[in-house]
Amino acid sequence: MFNLVLFGPPGSGKGTQSENIVSTYKLQHISTGDLLRDEVSRHTPLGTEAKKYMDQGMLVPDEVVIGMISGKIDDARDARGFIFDGFPRTRPQAEALDKLLEFKNTKIHLVLALDVPEAELTKRLLGRGETSGRSDDNEDIIKKRITEYHSKTQPVANYYNEHGKLETVTGNHSITDTFKMLAKHINKYLLPIK
């Protein structure tokens, strides 16, 4: 099994690059943002609780997200590996993920962090907001999300760096060129499936 965390601020291209990675390496994609939006659209109790935070650009509480993810890991027993997109977002989430994977006799092998300047992040998120229907489509919420990222999520990079798992990739080249740089790192662990 090969397990990858795709890390980076909002708008850095995690969702976009996950699609390329999933189709090339056949990993099981786990995006907490997608899972939460699905809960919101189905009006589940979890979704109703999460929406309050998401609409304000704040992180959803750890226990909600961790509870949601553990079932998803169980669902995909035969997976070649996982790509975690938008998770873990706090140090407690990173520690919980390590425990969940250890229970399955596996671990996080590699963390790829997309590095993109803040002005470019804002531009991309405003652009996506015009068509996505997502609630994070205005400059105030985008600012809030970036502030949350710096205070709560950035420490996760240090956590993985301490464990020797972090590689940083410049994420403001074209989508294709960025994917090529990510693939160079992944190929050290896993070959593409044609």
Give the residues lining the site for Mg ion (CB under 5 A): 14-15, 33
Residue 12, interface with ligand AP5 (CB under 6 A)? yes
Which of the stretches 5-13, 38-46, 70-78, 98-106 binds ligand AP5 when contact is defined by CB under 6 A? 5-13
Catalytic residue among 80, 91, 128, 152: 128
Residue 127, interface with ligand AP5 (CB under 6 A)? yes
Name the closest residue to ligand AP5 (Cβ): 33
Find, among 186, 49, 157, 30, the residue nearest to 100 by Cα: 30
Q: List the Cα angle 109/160/31 in 5-degree steps.
A: 70
Is residue 30 within a helix (H) or strand (E), and if so which, with residue range?
strand 28-31
Residue 111 CB, nearest approach to ligand AP5 (Å) = 14
How many CA atoms lie less than 13 Å away from 46 in the CB half-sphere? 17
Find, among 79, 101, 97, 99, the residue nearest to 88 by Cα: 97
Helix axis angle, 32-41 to 45-54, nearest 10°:
120
Site for ligand AP5 in 24-43 (CB under 6 A): 32-33, 36
Active site residue 42: no
Residue 60, interface with ligand AP5 (CB under 6 A)? yes
Catalytic residue among 37, 51, 72, 89: 89
Handedness of CA 105, 93, 121, 72 (dihedral sign): positive
Which of the stretches 55-63, 71-79, 154-162, 185-193 binds ligand AP5 when contact is defined by CB under 6 A? 55-63
Determine how many CB atoms are found less than 10 A away from the CB of residue 171.
Answer: 26
Residue 157 CB, nearest approach to Mg ion (Å) = 17
Q: Which residue, 2 or 53, is less far from ligand AP5 as judged by CB?
A: 53
Active site residue 145: yes
Residue 103 CB, nearest approach to Mg ion (Å) = 27
Token duo for residue 78: 């035969």
Q: Which residue, 59 or 83, is less far from ligand AP5 as judged by CB?
A: 59
DSSP string, 5-26: EEE-STTSSHHHHHHHHHHHH-
Residue 14, interface with ligand AP5 (CB under 6 A)? yes
Known catalytic residues are: 14, 89, 128, 134, 145
